[in-house]
Copies of this chain bind each other. A is one copy, B any other.
């Protein structure tokens, strides 16, 4: 029978994961606001994403080897996966700058990345309060409010693009950049929903 090993510290692992995610989101925001040294800094985002991949894999491996977990197994799995998805889209946005040679990203893209940063900070707070059963819900609600805001910002940005951008290839590039940023905020909302489920089940 597999029992929970003394060294499996899910809370610490999640703190690490959400800290790493916030770091990646902040770097993306910096790049979008000022795209100097683009290639070098996009590599840094990718390194953060690789680190996140490994941390997520470590959580899931430990989860599968552990018989007793502090929470519902499926929820731990989902929380780790959705945090990893946010970072994937953060990395994907950074990569598009290089792939599509977007040398002067429009200000609205940095605005969207700023919303992602705020969401990551709320998620990190929510995760840190899980162990002490603190006020997690408020942070989840804030993540959802921010997702709604990002939705409106990206919708307006895409409508503007169709209104003003006459070069179809440029339109394709920027539309995808906005969409990828918006997907990241959706995944942050997914993570908040899992956090909420964990709290409700344990209350």
Contacts and interface: CB of A to CB of B under 8 A. Distances in A.
B171 A171 contact: no
A108 interface: no
A11 interface: no
Contacts of A169: 162, 166, 168, 171
A129 interface: no
SS class, residues of chain A in contact with chain B: helix
A200 B99 contact: no
A95 interface: yes
B95 A155 contact: yes
Contacts of A43: none
A101 interface: yes
21 contacts: A60-B193, A60-B197, A61-B200, A64-B196, A64-B197, A64-B201, A65-B201, A74-B74, A95-B155, A98-B159, A99-B158, A99-B162, A101-B162, A101-B163, A162-B169, A162-B173, A166-B169, A168-B168, A168-B169, A171-B172, A172-B172
Interface of A: 60-61, 64-65, 74, 95, 98-101, 155, 158-159, 162-163, 166, 168-169, 171-173, 175, 193, 196-197, 200-201, 203
